[in-house]
């Protein structure tokens, strides 16, 4: 199973909601139960900067100079490391 940026596209939900959803999805994936994260192979695709003209803008920083961080940037950095 993969968890990607599909539920957190900035042009569809806005920057603050993007950060909230990514954090919530990550926290859910840290649980190893059948209905909450078990078997998760990868949590990815949150790119640093993406093309805002397309339909898949999920970047953690805005694409205009000086590439200012969106709310997701510090949220992502503060997430706990995966258990090993």
Question: Where do the structural domains in the chain lie, given as residue ranges?
Answer: 2-78
pLDDT at 1: 46
Question: pTM of the prediction?
Answer: 0.74
Comparing CA positions, the residue from 16, 36, 34, 17 lying closest to residue 26 is: 36
The two structure tokens encoding residue 66: 């000086």
Strands 2-3 and 42-43, by their bridges, are parallel
Over its length of 84 residues, how does the chain's per-residue pLDDT go in tens digits? 455 555 678 888 899 998 988 888 787 777 666 666 666 666 666 788 988 787 788 889 998 889 999 999 999 899 877 666
Q: What is the pLDDT, as a whole number, of residue 55?
A: 78
Q: List the Cα angle 18/22/26 in 5-degree steps.
A: 175
pLDDT at 56: 80
Q: 5: which 2 tokens?
A: 């940026």
């Amino acid at each position: 199973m993969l968890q990607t940026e599909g539920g957190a596209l900035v042009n569809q939900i806005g920057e603050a909601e993007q950060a909230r959803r990514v954090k919530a999805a990550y926290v859910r994936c840290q649980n190893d139960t059948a209905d909450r994260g078990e078997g998760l192979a990868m949590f990815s695709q949150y790119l640093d900067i993406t093309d805002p003209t397309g339909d898949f803008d999920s970047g953690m920083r805005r694409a205009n100079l000086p590439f200012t961080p969106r709310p997701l940037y510090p949220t992502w950095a503060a997430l706990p490391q995966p258990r090993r």
